[in-house]
């Protein structure tokens, strides 16, 4: 890969940067305005790179994945699951892009390994703790992994040949049952206002993605209704905050056709959401858009303009916040890269991105397949 980033270092650095985004000293100068309609991006000047190109890049790290990711999937610490989630997302994207079962098999192996490390916790549920949090269970860490563990279920469900295979169906059913009870139900039963509807946009978005995935897979009407209610809440009315992600979106002060939002519910203060954690919001909204919820083509255009004109205005200039301020490392692999599936010009722009790891390559392959 052209650059392998230390995911743990990225995440720790990003956590440290959030405090600046929450400064009460900044004024709300964005206004609660919708972005102006965006003109179409210039058409791609040359043919897009095919799925096979990105698959070739991805496979360069195939053995490296085993060395680094496999031990984390066998850990009983949910912080390790947090970190291995990127690899699961990459494998799911590669399976969706190519249909090749080696990607499905590895994603299933990793997710089943995580399940195997769960032990009894309070309330009759299974789960994990983390040394990072003094041996406590951590809803953030679990949601971070299971947004992609449940995406694996959707990918298998929507692949007719794999879903028809009795062996895969058995594994699918076991993982679905586990995710519904020991992930979503567990945390919802402990109080959704504290565990599902979190104090930051990106943390809540993880649960929006889990609910979106489980709504596609569940066979239980009652569960499906609850997932639908959570999705609606995340989008429109997070309890206690008077609005959802849709209401957070404002006209960007640096680009009138782009979105701006704060990671603090109800706030429009600059500098807004940090780009690193903003990837988590993007990971949710692109799948929610594809599942036909409240997100529209115009929304995706506004997010794309945020990427190409504010967050990454050109070259190797990468902004730290969605208002176009600060400097960052250009890590878009966990969310912003997925915007390429909607616009060939955005995809071609991303083809020139210099910060490429396995997750980035896999999602570029999926973008190419969707386009």
User: What does 348-367 look like in DSSP terms, one character per residue?
Assistant: HHHHT-S---HHHHHHHHHH
How sure is the predictor about 33, in pLDDT bands with cuts at 50, 70 and 90?
confident
In this prediction, residue 1 carries a pLDDT of 40
What is the three-class DSSP state of 245?
A: helix
Q: Which whole number is the average pLDDT over 60-85? A: 97
How sure is the predictor about 250, in pLDDT bands with cuts at 50, 70 and 90?
very high
pLDDT per residue as tens digits for the range 180-216: 999 999 999 999 999 999 999 999 999 999 999 999 9
What whole-number percentage of the chain has pLDDT above 70? 90
Residues forming beta bridges with residue 252, ordered by sequence position = 255
pTM, to two decimals? 0.91
E strands present in the chain = 119-121, 125-127, 250-252, 255-260
In this prediction, residue 37 carries a pLDDT of 82
Q: Which whole number is the average pLDDT over 216-237? A: 98
- First-to-last CA distance in the chain? 23
Cα torsion through 60, 65, 66, 68, rounded to 10: 140
Would you say residue 283 has pLDDT above 50? Answer: yes
- Residue 324: Cβ within 10 Å count: 21
pLDDT per residue as tens digits for the range 99-144: 999 999 999 999 999 999 999 999 999 999 999 999 999 999 999 9
How sure is the predictor about 3, in pLDDT bands with cuts at 50, 70 and 90?
very low
């Amino acid at each position: 890969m052209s650059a392998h980033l230390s995911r743990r270092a990225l995440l720790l650095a990003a956590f440290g940067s959030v405090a600046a985004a929450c400064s009460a000293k900044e004024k709300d100068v964005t206004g609660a305005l919708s972005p102006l309609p965006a003109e179409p991006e210039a058409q791609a000047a040359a043919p897009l790179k095919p799925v096979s190109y990105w698959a070739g890049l991805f496979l360069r790290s195939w053995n490296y994945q085993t060395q680094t990711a496999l031990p984390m999937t066998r850990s009983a610490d949910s912080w390790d699951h947090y970190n291995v989630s990127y690899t699961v997302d990459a494998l799911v994207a590669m399976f969706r892009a190519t249909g090749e079962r080696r990607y499905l098999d590895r994603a299933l192996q990793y997710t089943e390994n995580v399940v195997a490390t769960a032990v009894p916790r309070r309330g009759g549920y299974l789960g994990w703790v983390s040394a990072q949090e003094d041996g406590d269970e951590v809803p953030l860490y679990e949601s971070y992994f299971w947004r992609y563990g449940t995406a694996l279920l959707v990918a298998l469900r929507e692949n007719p040949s794999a879903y028809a295979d009795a062996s895969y169906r058995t594994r699918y059913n076991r993982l679905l049952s586990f995710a519904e009870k020991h992930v979503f139900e567990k945390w919802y039963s402990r109080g959704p206002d504290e565990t599902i509807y979190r104090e930051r946009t990106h943390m809540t978005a993880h649960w929006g993605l889990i609910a979106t995935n489980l709504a596609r897979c569940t066979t239980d009407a009652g569960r499906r209704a609850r997932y639908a209610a959570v999705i609606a809440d995340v989008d429109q009315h997070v309890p206690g905050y008077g609005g959802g992600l849709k209401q957070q979106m404002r006209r960007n002060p640096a680009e009138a056709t782009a979105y701006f939002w704060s990671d603090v519910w109800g706030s429009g203060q600059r500098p807004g959401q940090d780009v690193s954690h903003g990837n988590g919001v993007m990971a949710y909204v692109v799948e929610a858009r594809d599942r036909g919820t409240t997100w529209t083509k115009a929304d995706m255009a506004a997010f794309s303009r945020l990427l190409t004109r504010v967050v990454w205005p050109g070259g190797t200039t990468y902004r730290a916040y969605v208002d176009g301020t600060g400097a960052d490392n250009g890590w878009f692999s966990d969310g912003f890269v997925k915007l390429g599936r909607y616009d060939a010009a955005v995809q071609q722009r991303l083809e020139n991105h210099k910060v490429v790891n396995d997750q980035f390559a896999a999602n570029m392959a999926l973008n190419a397949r969707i386009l």
